[in-house]
């Protein structure tokens, strides 16, 4: 029996989304590999240089923020001596500041400096270390365009960089004159405008493949969506499912039965970060925090007896 479908329509959907649209428009599909995953875009009346503009964005993000590239800016920063300052590229600094702000807001559930723990548990480059006694994010100091480490921690933007890449690529498309498109990086999406048939970019959010949960179908117009789940990157060890999501409070993979979290936000970067924070905090604390800040989110809890679904009021208000 197919899962029921829930339709989510953003309250801000306005006639402006239809600006300049006609039924004669043509959709161009482009895509390829990037950032250890894949990307795709569907662009109505695509400007000639749009694919090159997107690729340029991804190349910058990798050069600045990939822990898997030994000569990236983030890798060089993580090798600095403790207390040594480094002037960061503007985009990397913007992501770092956003990550630190999210760390403060979530009381450290989102932490952009857990790279050593990510590696220690086999989900990143290198072997990793035990880490500091204080929350890693609190050992990163930022002053103007530069930053430094005050303890043996490593920046890791895996919970925010893909979202930033989506936002930055969307900005590049806007600059090229594209008004109607759907853009995706590794399952994180943003949508602008509408399709030639005047329909929005309908998108079904990801769900754990082994769980029967209602399909969430979103009219992705002026909105982004990100999903964090224990089914994406994990391994089984001694009968336990070890998620790639690290709980900064323990320095170990989360152990709260959260199977998936989906967040809708105007910013793909913030949707990405919020999905990570809610995943770490769990169904009670995570969804309470999201509701308090007006975040549209859904959480799927995997239990031995049944699957549970939670939604914040902001998401429930979008359901048709």
pLDDT digits (tens, 9 = 90+) for 199-225: 999 999 877 777 788 899 999 999 999
Q: What is the pLDDT of residues 84-139, one digit of tens each?
A: 999 999 999 999 999 999 999 999 999 999 998 877 755 555 544 555 567 999 99
10 Å CB burial of residue 232 (0-12, 13-18, 19+) is: middle
Are the CB atoms for 258 and 290 separated by under 8 Å? no
Whole-number average pLDDT of the chain: 88
Residue 18 has pLDDT above 70, yes or no: no
**Which positions ≥6 away from 104 have C-beta within 8 Å?**
none
pLDDT confidence of residue 242: 58
Strands 252-253 and 258-265: unpaired
- Domains detected in the chain: 5-31+187-316 (3.10.520.10)
| pLDDT at residue 267 in the model | 98
For the ranges 73-87, 130-144, 145-159, the lowest mean pLDDT is seen at 130-144
Please enumerate in sequence order all residues whose Cβ is within 8 A of that of 76, keeping only pairs 6 or more positions apart, or say none: 86
Residue 128 labelled as part of a binding site: no
Local confidence band at 82 (pLDDT 50, 70, 90 cut-offs): very high
Question: What pLDDT does 289 receive?
Answer: 98
Q: Is the pLDDT of residue 24 over 90?
A: no
159 is in an annotated binding site: yes
Tokens 């900005």 identify what position? 171
272 is known to lie in a ligand binding site: yes
pLDDT value of position 306 = 82
**Residue 263: both structure tokens together:** 């967040």
Look at residue 230 and tell me whether its pLDDT is greater than 90: no
The residue among 118 and 73 whose pLDDT is bigger is 73
């Amino acid at each position: 029996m197919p899962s029921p479908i829930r339709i989510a329509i953003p309250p801000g959907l306005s006639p402006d989304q239809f600006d300049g649209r006609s039924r004669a428009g043509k959709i161009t599909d482009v895509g390829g590999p990037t950032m250890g995953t894949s990307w795709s875009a569907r662009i109505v009346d695509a400007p000639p240089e749009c694919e090159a503009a997107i690729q340029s964005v991804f190349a910058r993000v990798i050069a600045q923020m990939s822990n898997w590239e030994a000569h990236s800016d983030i890798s060089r920063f993580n090798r600095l001596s403790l207390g040594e300052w480094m002037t960061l590229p503007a985009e990397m600094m913007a992501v770092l500041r956003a990550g630190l702000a999210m760390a403060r807001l979530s009381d450290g559930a989102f932490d952009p400096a857990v790279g050593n723990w990510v590696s220690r548990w086999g989900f990143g480059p290198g072997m990793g270390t035990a880490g500091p006694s204080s929350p890693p994010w609190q050992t990163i100091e930022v002053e103007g365009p530069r930053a430094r480490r005050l303890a043996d921690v490593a920046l890791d933007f895996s919970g925010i960089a893909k979202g930033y890449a989506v936002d930055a690529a969307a900005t590049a498309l806007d600059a090229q004159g594209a008004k109607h498109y759907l853009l995706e990086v590794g399952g994180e999406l943003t949508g602008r405008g509408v399709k030639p048939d005047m329909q929005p970019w309908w998108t079904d959010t990801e769900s754990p493949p082994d769980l029967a949960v209602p399909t969430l179908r979103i009219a992705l117009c002026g909105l982004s969506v990100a999903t964090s789940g224990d089914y994406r990157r994990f391994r089984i060890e001694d009968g336990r499912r070890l998620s790639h999501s690290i709980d900064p409070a323990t320095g170990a993979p989360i152990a709260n039965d959260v199977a998936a979290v989906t967040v809708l936000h105007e910013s793909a970067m913030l949707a990405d970060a919020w999905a990570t924070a809610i995943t770490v905090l769990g169904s009670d604390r995570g969804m309470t925090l999201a509701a308090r800040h007006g975040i549209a989110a859904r959480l799927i809890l995997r239990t031995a007896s049944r699957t549970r679904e939670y939604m914040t009021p902001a998401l429930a208000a979008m359901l048709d």
